[in-house]
Amino acid sequence: MGVDIAITTHITSFKNHTGIKINYSSRRIVDDEIFIRSTNLLFEKDIREQQIECFEIKSYKAFFQISESDWSFDIFAAAFYLLSRYEEYLPHSKDEYGRYGHKNSIAFKEDFLHLPLINIWVKDFADAIQKKYPIFNIQYSTFKFVPTYDIDIAYSYKHKGFSRNIGGFLRSPSFTRLLVLLRLRKDPFDTFDKLDALHQQYNLQPIYFFLLAQKNGVYDKNILPHTKAMQKLVKNIASKYIAGIHPSWQSGDDISLLKEEVGKFNALIQTTDNVSTRSRQHYIRFNLPEGYTRLIDVGITDDHSMGYGSINGFRASTATPFYWFDLSTNKRTDLRIHPFCYMEANSFYEQKLTPVQALEELKHYYSICKNVNGTFITVFHNHMIGRDKLFTGWGEMYEQFLQQMKE
């Protein structure tokens, strides 16, 4: 809500306070308070299965219902449950990539994955406070749109070396490959100049994440970081925009590789007087708490992985950045989480949407984030909005969205 607060457990201090008072406990204290009867969750120190029963209030879902209270549910415990990703610490099934499966989540089961539910709760709660205390001055943050890009495969044919191009041509003969290698046609994945133009046209401040695996693998297929072409690309983009590391699939099991990739990235961008402390996991491959603990250990302060790599929506039920609270240690960390809600790869590969359908989905997430004064973070890939025939129409869809967003 953008207001300063003070927290006290001293009843006399609470009673004597002349401003707005919210009593979060098991009993009422004074008449001129907003009383929210607390459930047990925030006073526990262990991690255990919680009794979650959703109900509908107004037009949205809620849980941790309470009685004899000025609010119908324990908003603090419910928000904490979703933000801390409490359910991801409990026993659950993994998807084919070893990630927390979205079908385990209460947001999916109760059909509110498409909503930043916590932001909706907060707006409703703020209205209730203002109704009781007309002097209450809400200072919501302003809506922000942050386009981000994962550079998994910088180029389709260029800079891949003789053996990789020969092997690729023998597996799938392509006239386009020959034209690109002969410099008669632009590489279909080379969309960087096009993106530059869009950013200038619409006054956007994007964030780029670079995959810098030291060797190629089944899921790591980018141009290797020791090549001059890759180094030039990283330095060029980092000199103009915010850039971060896109930790490889291989580094997900090896913190020494993660350190190496972060070190390599920061060494490349030294000339820009910049050291990156941002990341987003390749394939959104991470599990809690280990995934975030590793990032903290290598100096990452801002992570952009909070979303699903299998479906679009609000994994933490919020459109606002927040600090990660590690349930395993019962401590708030300094790792700031920037949740995304839309990735075009989910629309294409997982949800099987056409570009026209994906545009409508993208517009939904834009509108709902704007309505709650949230931060709308999208994930696109340079190779999917280029000229490759497999992704025909997706680049045009993105441009159409940017145009409609400014109308």
Mean pLDDT of 79-106: 97
175 or 129, which is more confident? 129
Task: Report the distance separating Cα 296 and Cα 154, nearest Å.
Answer: 27
pLDDT of 211 reads: 97
pLDDT of 164 reads: 59
DSSP character for 348?
Answer: I
pTM of the predicted model, to two decimals? 0.93
With 0-12 / 13-18 / 19 or more C-beta atoms within 10 angstroms meaning exposed / middle / buried, residue 50 is middle
Nearest CA among 312, 307, 357, 322 for reference residue 114 = 312
Greatest extent of the chain over all pairs of C-alpha atoms, in Å: 81
Please say if the pLDDT value at position 150 is more than 70. Answer: yes
Q: Using one digit for the tens of pLDDT, what is the confidence trace for 267-313? A: 988 755 567 799 999 999 999 999 999 999 999 999 999 999 999 99
Mean pLDDT of 365-390: 97
Mean pLDDT of 315-325: 98
Q: Nearest 5 degrees, angle CA 237-CA 239-CA 245?
A: 55
Task: Report the distance separating Cα 140 and Cα 354, nearest Å.
Answer: 35
Q: Using one digit for the tens of pLDDT, what is the confidence trace for 236-267? A: 999 999 999 999 999 998 999 999 999 999 99
Range list of H helices, 26-183:
75-83, 106-109, 117-132, 161-171, 175-181
Per-residue pLDDT band at 169 (split at 50, 70, 90):
very low
Name the percent of the chain lying above pLDDT 90: 86
Q: 3-state DSSP call for residue 381?
A: strand
Task: Report the distance separating Cα 216 and Cα 99, nearest Å.
Answer: 21
DSSP character for 221?
Answer: -
Mean pLDDT of 218-226: 92
Per-residue pLDDT band at 212 (split at 50, 70, 90):
very high
Please say if the pLDDT value at position 114 is more than 80. Answer: yes
Mean pLDDT of 25-45: 96
Mean pLDDT of 160-172: 55
Mean pLDDT of 147-155: 96
pLDDT of 157 reads: 81
Mean pLDDT of 47-59: 95
CA dist list (Å): 64 to 56, 87, 268, 367 = 12, 15, 49, 28
Residue 158, Cα to own-chain centre: how many angstroms?
A: 30
